[in-house]
Amino acid sequence: MPRPYAGVVTAQPTVRDGELVLRPWRLEDSDATRHLHDDEIARWFDVPAAHPSEQEHRSWIERTGTEWAERSRATFVVEWRGHAAGTVDVRLQDPAVGVLSWAVYAPFRGRGLGWRAVRLLVEWSFDALALDRVEAHVNPRNRASVRTALRAGLRREGLLRGNARLAGVTQDTLVLGRLRGDAHPDSREGFTAMLDSTLPTKRAIAQGVLRSTTGRILLCELVYKGEWDLPGGVVDRHESPAACVVREVREELDLTVVAGRLLAVNWLPALLGWADATVFVFDLGTVDAAVVDRARLQQREIRAVHWTGPLDWAGRVAPYNERLLRSLHEHTGGTLYLEDGTPTG
């Protein structure tokens, strides 16, 4: 069952922020608002007609009052300077979570009323309904609604793939949310957190070149793929690439190394289902070849290790890694920048 409203609630209140007002729907709003529905609203709410019939609209308005009385949903007219400009609502669900929805009528779009109304509703929901979380489920193609949610202080949290249908077509849903304890969106911390939730993430990989005294390079024969590869792995969250390669070599080979000079940065395009990535390749120094005799391989990942030279790479390493290794073999200067293993300059 939905969580009850906090305190004693008898009539749905009116909430104000200057000339912006959230108030309960009334039947007399029907004639003024029914024809303000347009194709944009019909598209994203997946209703067959842009303008609801008089009876349909009046029935919906009556239902908003019933839902308030049942403590299942709070729906408000967005009023701007005395005119009905849209609607916002929060549907209550357990535990202490509200799901937001909104629409702004065409004559009032482009004025920032949507995000201001949603933010006002969110603040009221935390205070009056004692919610701990609000969230919005938005079609990612509806860029205007995504911007509204972000400006209202919600943070992008994830994508539900293929969980909804719109006009008979399977669609994704973007989930955005805000917690009671989140920094206010007008604060530096709140704005930064919101923006950070929208920025792209890039996979970082750290690998190392460990050479023998005869100049050969150590490659790992892996359990989970056929190609040999440099030791290393994916950089963890809040971990530096240099710290990652040291950790990976310790975990996979039980060897202690020091991440020295950065030899190359290699950008890899999307491949075989993997998203693009940036690879940082470090110099791990020169050791006696016999050091690998003391290595204890992580059996679930490493089948064997091999000291290799240029004649050993073809057919044993992935093409992009062969290009990387040959670039490193031929280059004796500073750090290389590569794309798909090939120098760009």
DSSP state letters, 29-83 = GHHHHHTT--HHHHHHHT-S-SS--HHHHHHHHHHHHHHHHTTSEEEEEEEETTE
Q: Rounded to two decimals, what is the model's pTM?
A: 0.82
**H/E run at residue 221:** strand 217-222
CA distances from 199 to 155, 156, 195, 196 (A): 11, 9, 7, 5
What does the pLDDT read at residue 159? 96
More confident residue, 7 or 344: 344
Collapsing DSSP states into helix, strand and coil, what is residue 125? Answer: helix
Taking only the tens place, the pLDDT of each residue in 278-291 is 999 999 999 999 99
Taking only the tens place, the pLDDT of each residue in 26-50 is 999 999 999 999 999 999 999 887 8
Q: Residues near 265 by Cβ (< 8 Å), separated by ≥ 6?
A: 278, 279, 280, 281, 335, 336, 337, 338
Taking only the tens place, the pLDDT of each residue in 151-160 is 999 999 999 9
| Domains of the chain, start order | 15-198 (3.40.630.30), 203-343 (3.90.79.10)
What does the pLDDT read at residue 4? 47
Could you tell me whether strands 336-339 and 342-343 are parallel, antiparallel, or unpaired per DSSP bridges? Answer: antiparallel
> What average pLDDT does the structure give for the chain?
94
Collapsing DSSP states into helix, strand and coil, what is residue 152? Answer: coil
CB crowding 113-127: b at 16 or more within 10 Å, else e: bbbbbbbbbbbbbbe
Closest C-alpha among 122, 67, 66 to residue 98: 122
CA-angle at 244, arms to 239 and 249, nearest 5°: 160
Separation between Cα atoms, residue 290 and residue 305, nearest integer Å: 12
Number of helices followed by number of strands (H, E) in the chain: 9, 16
